[in-house]
Amino acid sequence: MTPTENAAEPTRAQRSIRRDKRARGRGRAAFGRTTFGRTASARTGLLGATVGLALAALVAAGCTVPPAVTQTVPECAWEVAVIGSQSGPDTPTNILFPDTNSNYWLAAVPLAESTTVTVSGAEIDARYWSLQTYTAQDLFSSTIDSLRDDQVTTAADGSWSITVTPTGDAGTNPLRALEDGTPSGTTWLMFRTYLPDDPSMPAGSLGLPTVEIADEWGTRVVEPCTHPSSTPPATPASTEGSAPEWLETPELAFKRPQPTFTPFPNADAAYLAAPATRRAGEVVVIRAKAPSFPEADVSPIGSGADLRYWSWCQFGLPSTKTVACVADQDVPLDAEGWYTVVISDPADRPTNATAADGVAWLPWGREPIAAFALRNLVPDPSFDEAAQAVPVSGTATTTHMGDHTPLATFCARSTFEAEGHEGCFSNAQPAL
């Protein structure tokens, strides 16, 4: 099926998803088949699952679970760690669509009205980093506030300090912790890095940022957890809900999901996603023009590149586990700056689906249904053809993204081996 075909009958992916919805209560994890924010019951289930994940992670990390307002502080910070390069098929934290080139740390911090939290660190050698805040009040479905690397005022040596308060009105780099009108409560800090210069040091060469909490009871430095949790608990199999709306589209039609499709959304990112169901002996071929990205020897901040970062990932459904990702710097380009991505079972990988042949290949995972996702981070103000240009819940077209619009089709392995992407798209209709 091409991206522009309208399916009068439910697709195989849709029928499978509906069967999965009817199978609730059979002990399967609920994350993969709940709408993160569509109905009250689904939102309640998500709250329980997400809070349960975080609280269990605190306990597993040997940390004190912080009450809403008290002089007690967590015993350690950055209680939950998701290291993208370690997101294997059986890794407990491989849920909710992680990018294998990104890293996330989560810290829960209680704030009284007078509390000031200072998060500080040395210069971070990475393509991108940010600090963002979330709360359970909206079920972690939106970012309360965000500061990324190019928005943070730094010292001459690259060191930095961010001041987190309930209202976000203090310090050189202020960050709001709670919703407007909420004087106290628990904020959840998420520190992210993408493509650190040294993959063995995902938080930077000097480690995780320091967390200092000051309030009427004094000032305390909370050290990073020695052994952050990587074991989320099982989620309730009885959680009600339905599949995210972008899964209800025709196969291989790329749509921009609602930001609430996963908890803890990144305020600096936009995504295009499309579902597909495995076909024996066939491969998925994706073709588009590549946005530019910062060169390895150039500072990513102010580089003038189209995007700070972009990648393609393949996820299993309904598990939401990452199977594999390929970052911009690892995607081969042809002479005109276009790329070809092929996704297939390893046994069906075309012999010419290699980097040497100008093709980025991703494996299909264990699950028959997959989601293919394009991630765009921080478009340059002069670049107006990023995924951010597609309306939320809208389907990507050349009107929004020009030649950067991804076109995808199923193709016989033999056709790709004989004729390459040209043969696969010879009968496909371009996006409109």
Q: Give 53-89 pLDDT, tens digit per residue.
A: 444 444 444 444 444 444 456 789 999 888 888 777 7
Pinpoint the alpha helices (H) of 334-412.
398-401
User: What is the per-residue pLDDT for 427?
Assistant: 65
Beta partners for residue 288, in sequence order: 339
State both tokens at 35. 């709408």
User: What is the per-residue pLDDT for 197?
Assistant: 85
User: What is the per-residue pLDDT for 112?
Assistant: 93
Angle 218-223-227 from CA coordinates, rounded to 5°: 145
User: What is the per-residue pLDDT for 230?
Assistant: 61
User: What is the per-residue pLDDT for 247?
Assistant: 67
pLDDT digits (tens, 9 = 90+) for 181-201: 899 999 999 999 999 988 778
Locate tokens 């500080």: which residue?
120
Q: Is 82 exposed, middle or buried (0-12, 13-18, 19+ CB in 10 A)?
A: buried
* 432 residues of the chain, pLDDT tens digit each: 433 333 344 455 444 444 444 443 333 333 222 222 233 333 333 333 433 444 444 444 444 444 444 445 678 999 988 888 877 777 777 777 889 999 999 999 999 999 999 999 999 999 999 999 999 888 788 899 999 999 999 999 999 999 999 999 999 899 999 999 899 999 999 999 999 988 778 887 678 999 999 998 899 999 999 888 765 433 333 233 334 565 666 789 999 998 777 888 999 999 999 999 999 999 999 999 999 999 987 788 888 999 999 999 999 888 888 999 999 999 999 999 999 999 999 999 999 999 999 999 999 999 999 999 999 999 999 999 999 999 999 999 999 999 999 999 999 999 999 999 999 998 664 433
Beta partners for residue 269, in sequence order: 377
Strand arrangement, sheet containing 160-165:
174-176, 160-165, 116-121, 210-215, 218-222
Ordered structural domains, the chain, with CATH: 39-222 (2.60.120), 245-425 (2.60.120)
User: What is the per-residue pLDDT for 298?
Assistant: 78
As a whole number of angstroms, the distance between CA 88 and CA 321 comes to: 9
Beta partners for residue 285, in sequence order: 342, 409
